[in-house]
Amino acid sequence: MTTLQFLGATGTVTGSKYLIEHAARRILVDCGLFQGYKPLRLRNWAAFPCAPASIESVILTHAHIDHSGYLPLLAKNGFSGKVYCSEATRDLCEILLPDSGHLQEEEADYANRRGFSKHSPALPLYTQEDAERCLNLFAPLELEHEMRLGDGISLRLIPSGHILGSTFVALETPDASILFSGDLGRPHDLVMPAPARIRKTDYLVVESTYGNRSHEATDPLVELAEVVNRTVKRGGVLVIPTFAVGRAQTLMYYLYLLKASKAIPDCPVYLNSPMAVDATRIFHQHSGEHRLTAAQCDGLCKVARIVHSVEESKQLNLKHGPMIILAASGMATGGRVVHHLKAFAPDPRNTILFVGFQAGGTRGAHLMQGADTIKIHGEYIPVRAEVKMLGNLSAHADANEILGWLSGFTQPPRHTFITHGEPEAADALRHRIEEELHWPCSIPDYLERATLGE
């Protein structure tokens, strides 16, 4: 008997974790951190639903923290099996996971020094050392290569087009086949190739981040140019919270194209994310997995001035516009961008530009909802800057693109599980799949367990 239990990404777009159990084997697909609302974040601190030492292997769809960021804690608490993923995902996790641990140590230290934590002392969820230690467990696989895991279970990783190294996870068990979409890429992205077409699987777990909306039918290059020019005209600072992996490289490529065509002024661009610098280097190493040429990679690398140290980052907050700052994190939940928001949000000449989905409960979501203040480091910061979203820059497929990808199946799955979406988005996608494709599907609850093959 094969069972699937949903340990995350239910009713939310974070904390992706799916537990497959078969013949006393436990396999975890994705191992993400919960982000956003406090009740979700508290799950990161709670005991794991099963003993980490009993898990034989973890399979990652991609490197983003909401899919990989719990791994150091899982290993710290007893997991010692293999972590299977693509080579690019392994390379990116070598950057992202230690940085995640470092940020948590930094934020705990800052909270203790400033005295705004309710805990005494504030502690990190895990440390940089914990993260570096878990990297020894990684065992990258070739794409499309079949890996036998034992007891009749096999694994294949198939390109999903979301970010560098992102894959679908296809598992075959003696009872049934199951495919995990991870985050589904877009068919016409400028940087990443389209997601691979899947013809059939017995069971499907599909994301629904944008399950209730369509990306705007606008040219993101034109929209980005408008925001840059409007902010420059005011003499302002454009602050762009961005994911260091994927979105940062896309933005730098767009800014490179806009500057080359003189669609925007040659104002200084600062990349305040050492992680993003390292991730861009990895783009060169995996040139066959994206659409950019070596010359285009060089161009995007040169468009921004690199901010290396914390001291350099602090100095940026004392500068005046016009200038553009790209800094992590993409939902403004932590990292250097939070300090930039603190410095620049109160000035109406400035712009805060979001370029991806903002999970409920994050600072990014509050800003997009029109908050006139945001809480940073225990104090409320007034928001007078322009706040803008460029939705068409998302690396997630929208509802129509998800349906387009699903229509490539030549045989409907026995059942489709809809995850990784806010409740309204997940239910909208469920409705469309039932009405347009006539597939049986459901939206699982947290910790729900399904039996596969019956």
Worst-scoring range by mean pLDDT, 115-129, 301-315, 425-439?
A: 115-129
Compute CA distances 36 → 66, 127, 197, 275, 358, whole Å: 11, 20, 32, 22, 9
SS3 labels along 245-273: CCHHHHHHHHHHHHHHCCCCCCCCEEEEC
Identify residue 10 by its one-letter amino acid code.
Answer: T
Residues in CB range of 220: below 8 A, 6 or more apart: 254, 390, 392, 393
Q: How far is CA 449 from the centre of its chain?
A: 25
Measured at the alpha carbon of residue 309, what is the angle toward residues 68 and 359, in degrees to the nearest 5? 35
Rg (C-alpha) for the chain, rounded Å, is 21
Taking only the tens place, the pLDDT of each residue in 223-253 is 999 999 999 999 999 999 887 777 888 899 9
Worst-scoring range by mean pLDDT, 100-104, 112-116, 123-127, 306-310?
A: 112-116
Contact 151, 22 (CB under 8 A): yes
Angstrom distance (rounded) from CA 60 to CA 52 = 16
Q: What is the mean pLDDT of residues 442-451?
A: 98
pLDDT band at 273 (very low <50, low <70, confident <90, very high): confident
Closest to 442 measured CA to CA, from 172, 176, 203, 160: 203
Worst-scoring range by mean pLDDT, 156-165, 183-192, 241-250, 425-434?
A: 241-250
Question: Which fold is adopted by the domain 220-393?
Answer: Rossmann fold (3.40.50)
Give me the pLDDT at residue 117, please. 60
Mean predicted lDDT score pLDDT of the chain: 92
Taking only the tens place, the pLDDT of each residue in 314-364 is 899 998 889 999 987 777 777 788 899 999 999 999 999 998 777 778 888
Domain residue ranges of the chain, discontinuous segments joined by +: 2-213+395-452, 220-393
Which CATH class, in words, describes the domain spanning 2-213+395-452? alpha beta
Residue 313 has pLDDT above 90, yes or no: no
Contact 179, 204 (CB under 8 A): yes
Contact 17, 7 (CB under 8 A): yes
Q: What is the mean pLDDT of residues 57-83?
A: 97
Topology agreement, domain 2-213+395-452 and domain 220-393? no
